[in-house]
Amino acid sequence: METVIIGASGGIGAALADALEDEGAAVQRLSRPDLDLTDEMSIARAAANAGSPELVVVATGLLHEGEHGPEKALRDLDPVWLARQYAVNAIGPALVAKHFLPVMPRNARSVLAMMSARVGSISDNRLGGWYGYRASKAALNQLVRTLAIEDKRRNERGIVVALHPGTVDTRLSKPFQQTGRDLFAPDRAAVQLLDMIDGLKPQDSGKLFSWDGTEIAP
């Protein structure tokens, strides 16, 4: 199976690529500078050189960077940081879809999976805070739904989904890990996600799923 992992230098992305290669898949690992989610030309070049992958995984996400982190209250909102989170968590993955979906198989099962988060569920938001991350992941979930509707006209067997990997022991989650909460090692998270992807059907396209296969309400 031809596969592209975007964000392959990260904890989840690297683990996904390793697990797929162990299964005999041909994996193209993409990360900066090969592909920059904030540079559409780099995304277009990567897609043009990708062949016709049956599986594309966008294993990226931005929760904290430098002095910036999740906003705890309204007073912490910063327009530049909000825009940065939208650029990486929503706009970049949408541009990946723009350029990669057209090169994926047209009359066969294909999967474009994007790492989202349970906190991007509007109906599941009971604690507030984390404005930028929540909102940008909610935007990603809506984009996935919209992409899935359009791509169905191109390939009835195509699947576009958002996936919540759980809390994984990576740089992204490190400052926010809590004792007593489930924390997955990257290799375990990768296997769980791949099992989830293997079980997806065309009617699942456009939805947000947790690592355990349960659907998360938008």
Q: What is the pLDDT along the chain (218 residues), one digit of tens a residue?
A: 999 999 999 999 999 999 999 999 999 999 999 999 999 999 999 999 999 999 999 999 999 999 999 999 999 999 999 999 999 999 999 999 999 999 999 999 999 999 999 999 999 999 999 999 999 999 999 999 999 999 999 999 999 999 999 999 987 877 776 655 679 999 999 999 999 999 999 999 999 999 999 999 98
All residues at 6 or more sequence positions from 183 whose CB lies less than 8 Å from its CB, including other chains: 167, 168, 169, 173, 177
For position 124, what pLDDT does the model report? 94
Reported pTM: 0.95
Q: What is the per-residue pLDDT for 117?
A: 96
In this prediction, residue 175 carries a pLDDT of 75
Say if 216 falls within a structural domain.
no
Q: How far apart are CA 218 and CA 214, in angstroms?
A: 13
Is residue 177 situated within a structural domain? Answer: yes
Please indicate, yes or no, if residue 69 is contained in any of the structural domains.
Answer: yes
> What's CA 115's distance to the chain center, in Å?
2
Average confidence score pLDDT of the chain: 95
Per-residue confidence (pLDDT) for residue 174, from 0 to 100: 73
CA–CA separation, 55 and 60 (whole Å): 15
pLDDT at 181: 66
Question: Domain limits at 154?
Answer: 2-210
- Alpha-carbon distance of 67 to 52, in angstroms, equals 40
Mark out the alpha helices in the chain (DSSP H runs). Answer: 11-22, 40-48, 79-86, 92-100, 131-154, 186-198
For residue 57, the model assigns a pLDDT of 98
Q: Does 121 fall in a domain?
A: yes
Here the CATH number for the domain that contains residue 57 is 3.40.50.720
| Total tally of structural domains belonging to the chain | 1
Q: Is residue 190 part of a domain?
A: yes
Is residue 39 situated within a structural domain? yes
Position 173 scores a pLDDT of: 72
Q: Look at residue 18 in the predicted model and tell me its pLDDT.
A: 98
What are 184's strand-pairing partners?
A: 168
User: Does residue 86 sit within a domain?
Assistant: yes
